[in-house]
Structure 1
Amino acid sequence: MTHAKTLQQHPDAPGELLIWTSVDPAYELDFNQWYDQEHMQERAAIQGFRWSRRYHSDTCARPYLALYQTDTLHVFTSEPYRLAFTKQTQWSERNFTHMRDTSRRVNAVTPLAGVGTGAAVALVCLQTLEQAQAAIELAQALIGAMDGVLAVRALCPDPVLSTPLPSEDVTTRKLEPFLVIETTSLLSAEAAKKWMADQLACPTERSHCFRLLWDLQSSELER
């Protein structure tokens, strides 16, 4: 994989949809069944999608994270995606009403260092594009310095494509970049999160670690 020296923010860059949410505890069972039995497959089957991944945190107030990577950002303006986004299933519509404090971001992806998918990720919430740019020089150093760190990528939200879901408070909404650090364990994710946050002077309480629930490759589905 080619690793960038500058942040990618153009529509030809790989895309990654991030959904980070909590859910009404009374409907959590249905929420998980919906994701596992319908929504992951539905999104992974859209033309141009590479994979869907689900994560969970035992310590974060917003414990559910879903990531979906696409060939380019253009996929999010394609007719297949438009149909999927504007014509949701009844099960999807029901679960959207039970989601709480949801962040929906459509991001341009910049691979910074390493390769692979880990058993856990650290999601480092940055405050500026300058911090994301600085992380380019730090990513390889992190992998070299710490066991269990596999890969680092930067996600930069597209302001036009990042349409909010109903449960997000748009009055406090900020489109800030993220780092996703792939690791072999939650222990490694915690250590990597702290290291990177310290290097970039980011408040560590704004970043969180998640364990992988499952990874669905689009190539595994019959379109």
Structure 2
Amino acid sequence: MTQEQLKQAVATAALEYIRPKLEEHTVLGIGTGSTTNLFIDGLATLRGQLNGTVASSEASAERLRQHGIPVFDLNAVDRVDFYIDGADEANRALELIKGGGAALTREKIIAAVAREFICIADGSKLVHTLGEFPLPVEVIPMARSHVARELVKLGGDPVYREGVVTDNGNIILDVHNFSIPQPLDIEKRINNITGVVANGLFALRPADLLLLGTDSGVQTLKAQ
């Protein structure tokens, strides 16, 4: 199967997982990225079976609206039943690296609110140790150099993602050559650097369910 077919398979699996759980008051959190876009397209067939959505990026919000799916401000809802999003990397503890699309902060906020976080990814995203994919860190612009120096002290090689401004008006540093055997510890340490808005490690709040697309079908991994 092609990577696109694997992405479609997990998007379809996520729709089938939530379909029997949808109620008229259900609010879905929707992430950002190519796999999530396929989920959004499929969700259009179920739009009458839920209350609406909250989105982690303006791009996802616009795609949802184009399908006639209501998009709410997170402050206007008192619950998010399911959060569906992809990942750039995942390990078997369902700890993730996210943020390749620069939406990591809003993704973290929705994941924190959601009752269940469903991650959808193709099999190439599953790794033993996180860090081969450069770790995105959202940073207040004036703190860019300071944060970069602190990330070097942690052992990484931060690179400014030129030309990218987040939906929050900030910049992204991508940390290369940064093996992360202890994601919980590293997430906390980066969070404590003054000027960091959020980093792309989802270890403090990992996924609850990982739907992984493989040539032999969709594998389901659950948090232990």
> Fold match, TM over 0.5?
no
Greater strand share, structure number: 1
- TM-score normalised by structure 2 residue count: 0.31
Q: Which protein has greater RCO, CA pairs closer than 8 Å, 6+ apart?
A: 1
- TM-score normalised by structure 1 residue count: 0.31
